[in-house]
Amino acid sequence: MSDSTSELSSNNNKSHYSMVISYLNCHEEYEFHNFLFKDYSGIDMPKPDIDKQPIKTIVGQEIYSQIKPHLDRALSGEEQKFDFEWHKPSDSISHLFHVTYTPDIDEKGDVRGIHVVSYDVTEQRKSEEKFKAVFQFSPNSIFITDKNGILILANVQTITMFGYEQDELIGMDVETLIPAKHKNIHKQLRSNYSQNPKPRTMGTRSGLSGLHKNGSEFPVDISLTPVNSGNHYEQTIMCTISDITERVKTESQLVFQASHDEMTGLINRNEFERRAERLISISRENETEHALCFMNLDQFKVVNDTCGHIAGNEMLRQISTLLQHEVRKLDTLARLGGDEFGVLMEHCSLNHAHRVAASLLKAIQDYQFTWEEYSFPAGMSMGLVAITPTTSSLTELLKNADAACYIAKDLGRNRIHVSHSEDSHLAHRHGEMQWVTRIYTALEEDRFCLFAQTIIPLNQSQGIHYELLLRMIDKDGKLIPPATFLPAAERYNLIENLDTWVVKKTFSFLADNTAFLQRINFLSINLSGQTLADTAFLKFIIQQFRETGIEGNKICFEITETAAISNLNVAKKFILALKALGCKFALDDFGSGLSSFAYLKNLPVNYLKIDGMFVKDIVNDPIDHAMVKSINEIGQLMGLQTIAEFVENDTIKELLKKTGINYAQGYGIGKPTPLLEILAD
């Protein structure tokens, strides 16, 4: 092997491809001399059976005819580099070889032989083709820069993404495509050339931007990769850029949805509470004052019940837009759920917050919602509370604001109530809220019991019946009357839990005491207005009749006049469904409403229970007597029987009897007695 051949072998000793090095003499037959086969590990493997044989004999006529023109030109002194395919005898797969013919020129300038270096580049070319396909058809922008950050190659997507033509891109400084403000990228791109022993691949970087030809920026991810060619790392870097505009848009939408109400576009409750927490912290750190206003639409249910939820949702959207125009830019307006809204007023004294709340209230009062042929005035009850360095917690803040809002409702609606620590209304509201936990605990521990109060006939009406009354048993065994805990249960939506407990206990009691069941006319069970509107509760009652086998005529349900009137259609359906099973219904507290008689003909009840406020002074007050008499006469005319409450003595009892009242109930008739004790009567 000549010195020049050895040099070639040494330079390529680290090749990853099968390599053949040989020397051809200048004779016409081009005989092999000093043939060596070098595998990928670089081990020399002499082949004496090939040495000094004509090349045509070794490679065959077909290959020889392909390479002979290159041999001839090499013999004339021209270096030749070319590729050719060959099926190795031991391998049916076609291999691609890259061949270099280097003339060996003597001192006289004559060619005395040819140095031959042949590489099997089959896999290399496959990889290159794959790279070209990825490079050209990648959905990402891919370009290659030199050590100075100048583009020397760019794919089609780079043209599409940045808006430049191919001839504009080549020779362009990379800072034209990646803004100079991203200094780290440009620093890393150039520092890759000084890496030792070889450049490093940079992981994908987000939070960057690309610069379009029109001057607009767009979000991108960028990664830098050194370009490897053969054995050496060339002084080039491949830059891959992904346009993440759609991804960023989607992520922004997800972030927006997580913090905003879908229907109105306002801040949602979670985000509102997070911002309120921040204001509490700021107030403590800087001793600043802020304010929170909790708002609840008045009579919003009327819109939903009359026109449906689509109309109700449209009203909420319109209200949201209206409120947005009234709040300050620094303020946070949120929809907290249902028909509840909230406003956080930053760096705002309570007096100024009241002026802001007043402007919101006036905007609502001036607004009227129209849907098809219906038109509804709007009102808003508001609870206003200060955020100060002494604000203990978010829970306490929201509790005070919620309580203040409902005090505004109690005081007549459509107004603002400001929460103060000395506020007696607020103290009462907090007292009610404390009952919520006590009611939950009592239900879990089954610390409720039933009492019964006798209702007797005053004329020829037959039979005796009882009204069931609920009592709570305190942890120390003390009985708590219903007037103490029922208002809290109704206000905080626990009344249905209590009604469920009463119905279940009553049916269980009657099923276990069949003799008592046969002896009485019926038992009366009170139901709240909230329960009356729940179709699931109606199904629950029907299921109780089926499971226990109790006949419907043994049960009378009492509903208040105000509850029936406020849910007239629902109440009517509820009554008719249970009357079909034989149940009776009594309209309780009749006369307390202003339009009692107007609605009475639409309610298929059996009894009218005259409000005790008219009965207790009937002997001394002629107006009360006239009211009781009128109610009785109209009730009798409609085929209803009447029951008078608050009958405290025999004098009242006798006057009621003369008036024609059918039944009497009160302490003058019988005090409430534990249910189990009446079994012995």
Q: What CATH number is given to the structural domain containing 596?
A: 3.20.20.450
Whether pLDDT at 147 is above 50: yes
Q: Compute the mean pLDDT over every residue in the chain, rounded to the nearest whole number.
A: 81
DSSP string of 135-165, one letter each residue: HHH-SSEEEEEETTSBEEEE-HHHHHHH---
Helix, strand, or coil here: 334? strand
- Residues 273 and 300 placed together within one structural domain of the fold: yes
- Residues 199 and 270 placed together within one structural domain of the fold: no
Report phi then psi at 142, rounded to 5: -130, 125
The length of the chain, given as a count of residues: 681
CA distances from 192 to 122, 229, 234, 404 (A): 30, 16, 11, 66
Q: Residue 543 belongs to what domain range?
A: 496-670
Query: What digits encode the pLDDT tens for the residues 434-466?
Result: 778 888 889 999 999 999 999 999 886 667 889
Model pTM?
0.46
- Residues 71 and 10 placed together within one structural domain of the fold: yes
Report phi then psi at 451, rounded to 5: -110, 160
Asked, for residue 434, whether it belongs to a domain, the answer is no
CA distance 544 to 507: 7
- Residues 116 and 144 placed together within one structural domain of the fold: no
Cross-strand partners of 218: 210
Give the model's pLDDT for residue 117.
Answer: 80
Asked, for residue 255, whether it belongs to a domain, the answer is no
363 CB contacts (<8 Å, ≥6 apart)? 322, 323, 325, 326
- Residues 592 and 566 placed together within one structural domain of the fold: yes
CA distance 183 to 468: 81
Query: What digits encode the pLDDT tens for the residues 395-435?
Result: 889 988 988 888 888 778 888 998 875 555 555 555 666 77
- Residues 219 and 275 placed together within one structural domain of the fold: no
- Residues 270 and 335 placed together within one structural domain of the fold: yes
The H or E element that residue 337 is part of is strand 332-337
Query: What digits encode the pLDDT tens for the residues 595-613?
Result: 456 667 778 889 999 888 8
CA distance 46 to 49: 9
Q: Which of 388, 421, 454 is the last residue of a domain?
A: 421
CA distances from 49 to 34, 52, 234, 658 (A): 11, 8, 40, 142
- Residues 234 and 264 placed together within one structural domain of the fold: no
DSSP string of 375-420, one letter each residue: EEE--EEEEEEEE-TT---HHHHHHHHHHHHHHHHHTTSSSEEE--
Asked, for residue 661, whether it belongs to a domain, the answer is yes
Q: Which of 421, 447, 474 is the last residue of a domain?
A: 421
Alpha helices in 227-289 (DSSP H): 245-259, 269-286
Give the model's pLDDT for residue 462.
Answer: 67
Count the domains in the chain.
4
Sign of CA dihedral 6, 7, 8, 11: positive
- Residues 229 and 315 placed together within one structural domain of the fold: no
Report phi then psi at 65, rounded to 5: -65, -25
Give the model's pLDDT for residue 45.
Answer: 42
Give the model's pLDDT for residue 431.
Answer: 61
Whether pLDDT at 8 is above 60: no
Asked, for residue 576, whether it belongs to a domain, the answer is yes
- Residues 35 and 171 placed together within one structural domain of the fold: no
Q: What CATH number is given to the structural domain containing 395?
A: 3.30.70.270
Confidence of residue 6 (pLDDT cuts 50, 70, 90): very low
Q: What CATH number is given to the structural domain containing 239?
A: 3.30.450.20
First to last CA, the chain: 130
- Residues 118 and 149 placed together within one structural domain of the fold: no
Which amino acid makes up residue 467? E
Asked, for residue 75, whether it belongs to a domain, the answer is yes
